[in-house]
Each structure stands twice: as C-alpha cells, then as structure tokens.
Amino acid sequence: MCPESFKKPVEVRGEKISSSAQEALDFLEACRAEKQWSEEKFHSRQTAVLGGEWTLTFEELEHGARMAWRNNARCIGRLFWPSLRVRDLRHISDPDEVYAALLEHLTIGTNNGKIQPLATVFAHSDSDGPVVRIWNHQLLSYAGYEQPDGSICGDPKNRDFTREAIRLGWKGEGTRFDLLPIIIQKRGEAPRLYPPPTDQALEIPLTHPQFSWFPELGLKWYAIPVLSDMNLRIGGMDFPATPFNGWYMGTEIGSRDLGDADRYNVLPAIAEKMGLDTSRSSELWLDRALVELNASVLHSFEKAGARIVDHHRASSEFMEFTAREMKAGRAVSADWSWIVPPMSGSATPVFHQRWSDLQCLPDFISQPKAWVKF
C-alpha cells in the first residue's frame, strides 16, 4: 500500500488508533484483496489489531516480505517477487544461532549457483527497539584495508566496516578479495565477531570469452548478493535483522563494484591490457573497457553455472513487471537512478520512463549502521 491509498484513521470508542495499528489495518486490507481472504478471516484479523493482540501469522509474514520486495523502489528484478521464499526465525535472537542461520541462508540461497530468492526473518523490534542486528551490509563482501597513504586495498565501500572488524579483533590476510567476517549484536550485549563464511561462498574468478590474458587481472566476485542491514517493515512491525537476496544483474558487479572509480577501479588496467589509447577521453577507452568487463562478468557467471541477468533482459523484465502491476491496479514505485542500469542506460526501455519513489509499504528500508546506532 502506498501513502495515497491510506484510509481515513479508524476510531475505536471515539479515539483514533495509533499509526502503527492503522498501518496494520491497511496491510490486512491488502492481504484480503490479494490472498482472497474470506470476510470472516479478515474481520478476525482486524479484531486482533484493534484489540492489541495482533502478531503476524506465517502467511502474513510471507506475503508481507514478498510485498516488500515488490514495493522496493531500488530493485529492478521485482518481476519474480511471488517466488521469494521466507524463513520464519522470529524466535531467534541469540547471536550464535543467528550466525548458524546465516550460513544456512547462504547455502539455501546460493543453491549450487541456481540462486533462490530468499529472506530470513529474525526477531522483531519491541518497544525498546531492535533486539538483534547484523552489522554487515551484505553477508558476503570484501574487506577494504586503509593504507598509510590513504589508499584502499580491496573494496573502498567496506572501509568503515573493515575498520570496525579489526577493532573487534579480526585479522584478514590483507589481499584485495578477503571475505569479511560476520558481526552480530544482541541488545544489551557486546557485538560478536564470527569467521567469514568462506565455505558457503561461491566465488567466481573472472575470465573473458576472447581475452586469454583476463585471468591475469586476478578479479573475482561472489555469486549471491545477500543484503543484511535493512529493516523489513510490515503492518507497523519492524524486523531489523532480515537478510534477503535475489540474484545479480551483471552491471551491478561490472559497472559498479569493479568498474567504478571509487570502488575497485579496474578499467585503467583493462584498457592497458587491451592496448587502448588512454591519453584522451574522446578515445572512449573507458567505455570500451567497461563493455569488456561486463562481458567478462556475464561470461564467467554463466560458465560457472551461477544465475545472473544482463541489464537489457532485466530492463525488459521490469517493464513486464510494470505492466502486470498496472493490470492488478497497483502503482509502481521506482527510483530512476537505481532502476536505470549503470551502462547503456538509454538503450534500455526503463530509461525512457518517468519513475517516482512512492514509499509504499511493506518495504525493506535503510537504517543507521549498527555500530553508529543500534
């Protein structure tokens, strides 16, 4: 549900109910329509909300998580939202148990390369806030070691997290592709440091369909992007520890993670290997190197049997998603700067549309870094 679809506040005994209860009622209305609930079932759930006794059933949790994926304005892969598998681990808040469940998530989600969209839901927030938080932005990511000269060895995006992990006692090998440890914190306790999930990580060395020298660059990436620091909000309830994943669009790795000048910045090295003239931008050496880097990512994942989608297909699938949502009578929330691929944008259909972030709920919502504000 989106803001413009909210109903007038319900009154109980002449008093307006809380905003979270109103959000719950709006969510139940969506469930009734989309799950084709009977009136008896709907009114029973509505009564639970108004009586202050409502907690999500698994059916509601599952559909709410799927709606959150469907509503997320930054995701281009939402055509497949009904296929999201949800693991209900709301009873778990002990960090050791959370860590074990995260390793299971990686194994199930990776699925030997046939990536399965998956969400694992841990304990919800209560009146005192989050019960447990996962510090990592993604369950798999590479360290970014700050050097004496200010440069970064590894992934600059993860500099701050790497610094926190080292502060807690972690020692990596110091390479460009060191998998980071997992840090979990329960409210009222110190954060706990756990080993990097190396056994559960499917890492793919990058090769190229034409360039035999490409492996000399020593590049690789992991097969599954599991976001783990966002808050899942459903019906006025918050689940601040809910790792979830789909599969990669190739340009996320090629254009952003590896190609971006503020990340791994590998385009100059590729251009040199290709023998391109890098003295003038008008030679379009950056563009040529970028295309070949993205070709390498798609080729390598396909060779490894790991599910991935190119940006042209992903854009077409998003337009199909949009058409289906319109047919269902639902507005599509989208952030143009995220939906348009970071390469060949104008060659994709999503570029030529106007998108708006409608801030629909349920959704996966950004929250402060756990080491800054638990």
Q: At what angle do helices 58-71 and 19-35 cross, to 10 degrees?
A: 90
Length of the chain: 374
Among candidate residues 78, 87, 90, 192, the one labeled active-site is: 78
Is 203 annotated in the active site? no
The position carrying tokens 């469930």 is 31
114-129 confidence digits (pLDDT tens): 999 999 999 999 999 9
Tokens of 302: 């396909």
203-260 confidence digits (pLDDT tens): 999 999 999 999 999 999 999 999 999 999 999 999 999 999 999 999 999 999 999 9
Among candidate residues 170, 247, 285, 355, the one labeled active-site is: 247
Confidence (pLDDT) at 17: 85
Is 360 annotated in the active site? no
Is 78 annotated in the active site? yes
| Cβ 232 vs Cβ 68: under 8 Å | yes
311-336 confidence digits (pLDDT tens): 999 999 999 999 999 999 999 999 99
- Residues 6 or more apart in contact with residue 350 via CB below 8 angstroms: 76, 315, 318, 319, 339, 340, 341
pTM over cut 0.75: yes
**For the chain, percent helix, then strand, then coil, each to nearest 5?**
40, 15, 45
| Cβ 86 vs Cβ 119: under 8 Å | yes
Residue 183: strand, helix, or coil: strand
Among candidate residues 70, 75, 192, 292, the one labeled active-site is: 75
| Cβ 118 vs Cβ 85: under 8 Å | yes
Confidence of residue 7 (pLDDT cuts 50, 70, 90): very low
Task: Look at residues 139, 138, 64, 134 and name the one whose alpha carbon lies nearest to residue 93.
Answer: 134
Among candidate residues 192, 252, 292, 330, the one labeled active-site is: 252
Is 70 annotated in the active site? no
